[in-house]
Each structure stands twice: as structure tokens, then as C-alpha cells.
Structure 1
């Protein structure tokens, strides 16, 4: 399931979400493979803490909820059941502390997946983890009850039934037909006590509910005012003991986080910009770990803004964006290049990827100007277009004090000024991210999608369906939804990807979203930190993160 993350996380401070090393010189950055300093548990010492900065401690702790972000999911995995692991290349395996077997088969033309739960598995409140948790996860995520404000129904809406197997510790999931992406579902579970829409939507607000969690760590403390979350070892855990005594997240602005890393107050920080990398590259005992990042930075256009309700204006704005210039500014000083991204579902390093932006939203300032002329927007004396006494001014919130973000915003402002659009930059604290996104407090917004698994085309509806909670632009229409549903029913993954590419080109033709760049994941860490860094699709056991002996 995809999750929202702020553009500053994508560009500057992505921590531990994704693992080939980068030389501390001007060598070209390589993003082949992962760089996590993988170590066996025998090589790690018991004890110690790991402290990192985080852009926002999201007010919504329910990662299934539509208001959950990438930061919500990051926290969730530290104290809730994680049933699925992914290797850096996206290969799935199940977590044997929670599951003893996962069997996938085709029965009467339908995909059937049988999950057998480890008999030791239980929630912190004593509730056994059994088929009921699978039923509840499906029930709340299926989309059948609109009172549940769900982040994504993709896949769960294709399930016919979830039933008890040979005993309570076995869940049998039967799909309506053949489902191409079974490894993308039930990677995490929702406690059966989250049994109503009211509990689902509100119980986790500013409340992590550690008693509904399970795993090697649990919440030690959460300070809503300072934005500090501390995890400790979970005394109820039945698996390998966590190597760390404590895992600490601190909400910090970007420059404050860099200063804290330089002062030894935090142990790792994202440095995927020239300025942040320059401040840590000469430090002793520091390793910069780099990998391809399974995330897209994008421009989102708010269709609820009256000016932008006109399709011609939206098309003009997106055709007026010089992505090559923005990418050059974004990667200045990193000696890194990449092709311009052409999809919000797939990455250029994945099989089946196609550039679905090319030929649909090409940069063409002349065409952009002509569209605005056609829509009645006339260039004023100051170069900004005017219609019926109103200036063509659009607000762009920026949620970072990082120089890389500020430079990007100013460049964006200058680029659109060339076609007569006045981009008004509104500086906001990074802790306002959820507020800006949920309340749609923007005309234009630079944000990102982070993928938590490699099955991007499975989430075509989450990105593009009308009314989807991830569709922050507010685009979509019934005919497109029907096409997306048709794609989802295709049983072969590669055939589904091919069909999905065609539909995504239709979606881009709404002129609501424009991918800007992907970029590398670059994490500066204290060199003795193991099983942590830049990992592409990697999701591994948090109990194995720690410090080398």
C-alpha cells in the first residue's frame, strides 16, 4: 500500500524507509542494490539506543486510515504485527514469528491464500492473533462500509471471503477471481477490537494504543507536545529479543536535525541534497548509504480551487513546468542523474515500467501560454495574468527550512512566472504536513508517494480513482474508474501492468498530478549501525537493527 510522505522527506530527510554505498568524493552516485550494513545478530551487541529525526509524528496512528502517512507506517512497524518482509529487490517472505506457513493456490478459478498463524502469536492485551484479525483487516479495508475512512481498498475489495481454517489459528482468504498481487495484502494486521467505524477513525488520534500492538518493541513514551516517541523492548514478545534498548524518534525541522546529527544527538539522517550532504561528508565515523528510492516526488493540483477547475488552466500549469530544470536543481552537487519519471505506479528500475507522461504532459511553454489565452487570462503589466480583475495567483505551501527545498520552490516560482502564473510560496512548519494534506490547504503542492511494497500497479485505484483518499488533487471520473476496475481483474501481473500503463496515460490527461523526480535515498549513519540505511524495498526485522560489537 502506498503512503503519503512530504516532499522534504523525499528530498532531504528520508530515514530508514528504504539500503550500494556512495564514495565521499565527486564520484557518480550508484543506486544499484541496497546499503544497510547487513550483519548477523551474533555480530551485534545487546543494548544501546537509536535516535533519528522525523518530519512529523502524524496525529493519526492508524496506518490503515486515509490520514495516515509514511510516517504513520514507519511508527506502526516498530510496535505492531509485521507479517511480511521484503528483500531490497521486492522479493516477499513471511515473518515466521507471526506465521508458520502461507499457501497460495488456484481453486475453482479463484485465488485462495491460507495463512497459518504461529500459536505463540498474541497481541499485547492478551488477545490471540488468529483468523479474526484477518477478518477484521479485510472487513475494514474492503470499502463496503463507507464510514471507514480507508487509505486503500485495492485488493481487499477483490476478496470474496475470509474464514476460519482447520482451527482459529488459520485464516483462509478466497478471492472473487484470480488476483495478481496476493503478496501485497495482510502484510500488517488490525486488532479485532477496532470493531467500529468510530473506533477506526478516532481511537488512534494522538493515541498509539500499544495494547493493540505486538512485536519486539512497544511504546515506552509519546510526548505529543515535543513530538518525541520512545520505543522499548516488549516484555510480551516471544521471538528474538530486540538488540536495541530504545528506539527514539524526534520531530525536528531539517536544519535542526542536521545540527543534531553533527553534535552526536541523533544517529542517522537523510542527506539526499547537496547542502545536507556537504555538512556531514567530512565527519569521522560516518557512512553515507545510498540506494534507489521507491518514491515519487510530484506536483499536485487542487481541483477544488476555482481557477484550477478549468482544465485548460491546469493543463497550462503542468505544461509550463520545466521538469528538467527542476531535476537539475534538485540533484545539484550530487553527481546523480536519472530519467524524468513517467509513472506514479512504477519505477524505471522495475520490469514493465513505461513513461506514461511523455506525449501527454510535455513541457511546452508556448502551448501553455496559448491555453491561458484561450481561457481568457490576459498578461498584466507585471507579467502576471489577470481575468475579471483577478490575478492568476496560486498558493504553494512549503514545509521545510532546508535550502534544497527553498531553492526548488523559488525555481518553480520563476518557471511558472514565465507563462504568467504567480506562485505564492507559503512557509509552513513541517509538523503541519498532515494538516495541509488532509484539509487541502493548497492550490499547488509538492509532495511524494512512498511505496511500501513493489506491487505498484496493484494500487492504480488508490492513486487515481474518484474519491480515493490518496487522490489529493480530487481528480477522477466514472469511466476511468471502470477502466481501472477492468485492469485490476487481469490475472497475469505483466499483462495487468501493460494494461495499467494505458489507463495511467488517460489519468495523466486530467492534468491533476505531475511526477517530478524520484532521486536516490541517501542516509548518513554512524558507521557501526547495522541492518539500517538505504534499502530500496527492504522491510526486515526491527529486532535485528543495532550496533556492531
Structure 2
């Protein structure tokens, strides 16, 4: 399963509790309610940054927004508690058995005999086979978001009958609960279908679940889900689930006007616009999201390792964090990993000692690379008549994000780097990422399960679709593969920390901040909000009686 997904760096999903006390991010804040306390009917409408043109969540061009929509109309086999504890969805599975056989991990999935896709085809072992074959990386024609874990599987076969899938690994695999959380329909059985057939086409007939697509307008960026008449489990509580693509300020306005039922708030400005609204509550939890700066190694200037190192050593992360959390009673240690979070066991700061803020060293590195301060009064460096100018796209109209962009300009100008802001609409996110239309880019990795070190390759392997910087080497890939074969989770995390320090030494990516998730919601909204690692039944989301 794709676990680390791309999103736009945004401040609206984070924030602070009301009042003067420091924020608390202990546990989840979801207004959990049993089904009997949730009324039948009503709708839930929220904003989405982008309705990605790629609807296949397994495909490399999918994003966190792809996965968000995928969950509402496709099989979701795994649930996660806020702390990351796994359980299987009994509407799809009646049993999941994990065991060691001859020193190798074997997982047996027994499938609910009621489970069917919307076109009437049974959900059986063939779905597991297809998910594995398309995700294991053996066919380079499949543009896969992540092969991690699937590339460690030796076979997926039929069990006692078609409704049982037996997954045999090549050895001991430390993270079996991170795989087959979602399924790819067996009809998506060629690389061309995998890569292209979901482009601006959600294919609800290949889905299954409590909801299905009612309408999709790619021009307006509106997706509406309705109850699925083919669903065999508890019916969805909502009549409709609506997603609308909106820019940040438009979303705030829509929430204030009652057009949206929930919205992320976290900057001083967005918080101020909703804090006095009646009937609204703000839900807060720790956020499993990494905001980072990505350096495009395909940019000729940045192909020089000395220049990349200088740029990243010239970034004052403490100043950026202060700007990021301005007006909020919240602080956090600077993040030191793209795999783990500070609230997880085994986390280490792998940035410290590798990419420390050191503007003097940054200037020396640029001198050594032949970039010297020019004759203009602005202090920007030049080489062979060319200015040291780098483009940073900003895909948000949030004042807080705009301030962050200006801060990057000011901070890097101190070492002689000209940062040119390119303002783009948030709906250009996939275009900017897929086509690498940036020199520097602010992006976020959003984790949908707690097994971060399992996805070391997805983040850092050469050619990996999440490695947007274009870094990597065969030597680093070999080290990552060695880590993946370590059977005990904490031992793998320990070894992975050492390899991640090597990866940061490529000067391609720099974690900036995490921040808490904070969602403003109409107060009767149940089973929805800030959930940390929480993934639960969408059919239970609704309005409290």
C-alpha cells in the first residue's frame, strides 16, 4: 500500500487550541460515536486541494488527495486506531492469519463470501494476486508509487478456495500489516490500464464499499458520493459525501457561509476567521505529516552537490518554524526524519550533524563552486554571467504560505541565492510535481499508516516515484535493500536511521516542520476530525442525533 503520499504544504490543517494554554496533541479528536448515535441522512461537504487527474492510488502520479477519494468508494481492508494499531475490516475479511513457515512470513487472508465489486465480480484471491503483480516492481512499465514490501513477496496463491489468498514472503517481513490494505481490481491487468485508464475516470464499477460515485465534474473539481446499492454491510449514514476543489481563502469563505461542514485551520489568519463562529468546534491531534523542501537535481545549477549543500545549509529552519507557527501557542523540535515522527518509538534526528544551519559554510561552498557576489547591489551571486536564481512555486493563496515563501527569499538571499516565487493555483499540484516544474519546492509527505521505516525505498531509492528530487545511487539502494531484510521491527528502524543519515547527505531533501492537525467542524459531526493514524469505517461518519 502507498503509505507516504504527496500533498501541498499547507498551514490550514494545523493549529492550536482555543485559549492561552499550550496545544495538546494527545490521542485523536474525532467525536467518536456508535452508529446508533448517528442519524440517517444528511450530507458532508468539505474542500479538497486538488481532485487529482490520476484516480489510481497505487500509480506513481497519485497523491494524498487520490487516496482520500479512493477510500470513499474502493475496498478498504485495514483500519488503524489513532496510535497505529491495525485491525482488519470484517466486511471484506473474516480472518487474517500471520505465521512463520520454514523461517518465512506467511499471511493468509480469508475473504468475506459477501464481498463483491460493483460490477458483480467476486472479491477473491485474484485481487490479491493483481495487487502484488502490479506493485512488486518486476514490470517497469507499471509506474508504481511504492514497491516496498510487495517486492519482498515470493508468491500470492489461492488458498482452500477462491475466497482465500495466501501470501508467502521471501523471508521474514517486519511489516505485514502495511500491505494489501487496499486492492487493485483484477480487470486492471495491463500496464496501460494501470497507468492510463484511471486518468480523469474513477471507474466506480471496479470499486466496492458503502459509497459509490454519484457524479464527478473534472472541470469544476467536484466529486459527489452516494450510498452504494451493491453494498452488503452497514449502510452509510450520509446521503451524500461531497468534495469541492477550492483555494484556501475560498474554502474559509465557504465554511463561514455554511457551504462547508469542516475545514482545516491553523494559521493565525484562518483561525481568526472561524474562532467566533457559533456551533463550531476545533479538533486537534498530532499530525503524521512531514513538510519538507525538495531540491530538483535535474536543474543544472543544482546538479552541483556543493550548491545543493549550500542551499540547504543556508535554510534557517528555526526562523521558518517561527513564521509557520506565528500567532499560535505551539512549538515543536525541528524534525529529523522523513520516515518517522518524534512521537514514535525508535525515532532519531537524522538531519542533525548532516545538514546543520551554517550560512558561513554555505557561502564558502558557493565560492568553491565558482559562484561569486556580482556587481549588482542586491548581493546575488553570479557565474559565467548567470545569476544564481532558483524558482520556488507557491500553490496556495494562504497569507501564511505567502509569508513562508517570502521568508525563503530573504533567508537564502543572505547567502547570495535569488529565490523567484512562481504563484500557481493549487489545482496545478500534480502538474508541477509530475513534470518537475520547480527548482525548489515545498511539499508534504502524508503517512497513512505507522510503518514509516518500511517505506525507506519509496522515499530514497534511485528512480522511486516519491523521490521527486531525483537523488539516489546504486550503493544507497543496496543499503536500503539490506535494511528491508532485517526481520525485527526495532532493529530495522535502528539500521534505517543510519541509512537515512546517508541519504540526507545527498543534500536533496530537508524536513522543515510537522505541526498538529487542527480541523474546524460543525459540532454535531461524528467520527470525523483530527485522528493521527486513524482510518475507520466511512459508513459511520455522519451527524450526531
TM-score exceeds 0.5:
yes
Partner residue of 1:54 out of 27, 31, 48: 48
Partner residue of 1:530 out of 521, 526, 536: 526
Map residues 237-276 of structure 1 onto 2, 5 A cutoff.
237-276=231-270
Please state how far the C-alpha of 1:12 moved relative to its aligned partner.
1.6
Alignment match, 2:455: 459
Q: Is the 8 A contact 2:29 2:529 kept in 1?
A: yes
Q: Is the 8 A contact 2:518 2:530 kept in 1?
A: yes
Aligned residues: 542
Partner residue of 1:312 out of 306, 309, 313: 306
Q: What is the Cα-based RMSD across aligned positions, in Å?
A: 0.9
Alignment match, 2:3: 2
Map residues 46-195 of structure 1 onto 2, 5 A cutoff.
46-195=40-189
Q: Partners in 2 of 1:36 and 1:384 — Cα distance?
A: 49
Correspondence 1:548 to 2:544: yes
Alignment match, 1:294: 288
Alignment match, 1:432: 428
Alignment match, 2:342: 348
Alignment match, 1:278: 272
Q: Partners in 1 of 2:13 and 2:505 — Cα distance?
A: 32
* 3-state DSSP of counterpart to 1:409: helix
Q: Is the 8 A contact 1:13 1:254 kept in 2?
A: no
Q: Is the 8 A contact 1:262 1:280 kept in 2?
A: yes
Q: Partners in 1 of 2:3 and 2:449 — Cα distance?
A: 8
Q: Unaligned 5+ residue runs, structure 1?
A: 15-20
Q: Partners in 1 of 2:152 and 2:313 — Cα distance?
A: 37
- The 1:389–1:22 alpha-carbon spacing in structure 2 relative to 1, beyond 3 Å, is closer
Alignment match, 2:330: 336
Please state how far the C-alpha of 1:28 moved relative to its aligned partner.
1.1
Alignment match, 2:477: 481
Please state how far the C-alpha of 1:322 moved relative to its aligned partner.
0.1
Q: Partners in 2 of 1:334 and 1:247 — Cα distance?
A: 32
Q: Partners in 1 of 2:180 and 2:292 — Cα distance?
A: 28
Q: Is the 8 A contact 1:22 1:289 kept in 2?
A: no
Deviations 1:408-432 (A, max 9, x none): 0000110000000000000000000
Q: Partners in 1 of 2:151 and 2:8 — Cα distance?
A: 30
* 3-state DSSP of counterpart to 1:12: coil
Please state how far the C-alpha of 1:22 moved relative to its aligned partner.
5.8
Correspondence 1:495 to 2:491: yes
* 3-state DSSP of counterpart to 1:149: coil
Q: Partners in 2 of 1:224 and 1:442 — Cα distance?
A: 25
Q: Partners in 1 of 2:7 and 2:364 — Cα distance?
A: 33
Q: Unaligned 5+ residue runs, structure 2?
A: none
Q: Partners in 1 of 2:248 and 2:330 — Cα distance?
A: 22
Partner residue of 2:380 out of 369, 379, 384: 384
Please state how far the C-alpha of 1:5 moved relative to its aligned partner.
3.2
Please state how far the C-alpha of 1:273 moved relative to its aligned partner.
1.3
Q: Is the 8 A contact 1:57 1:72 kept in 2?
A: yes
Q: Partners in 2 of 1:341 and 1:3 — Cα distance?
A: 16
Give TM-score scaled by structure 1 length: 0.98
Q: Partners in 2 of 1:542 and 1:198 — Cα distance?
A: 31
Q: Is the 8 A contact 1:530 1:545 kept in 2?
A: yes
Correspondence 1:37 to 2:31: yes
Q: Partners in 1 of 2:479 and 2:518 — Cα distance?
A: 37
Deviations 1:227-265 (A, max 9, x none): 000000000000001000000000000000000000000
Give TM-score scaled by structure 2 length: 0.99
Q: Partners in 2 of 1:4 and 1:160 — Cα distance?
A: 26
Alignment match, 1:507: 503
Q: Is the 8 A contact 1:395 1:442 kept in 2?
A: yes
Deviations 1:199-233 (A, max 9, x none): 00000000000000000000000001100000000
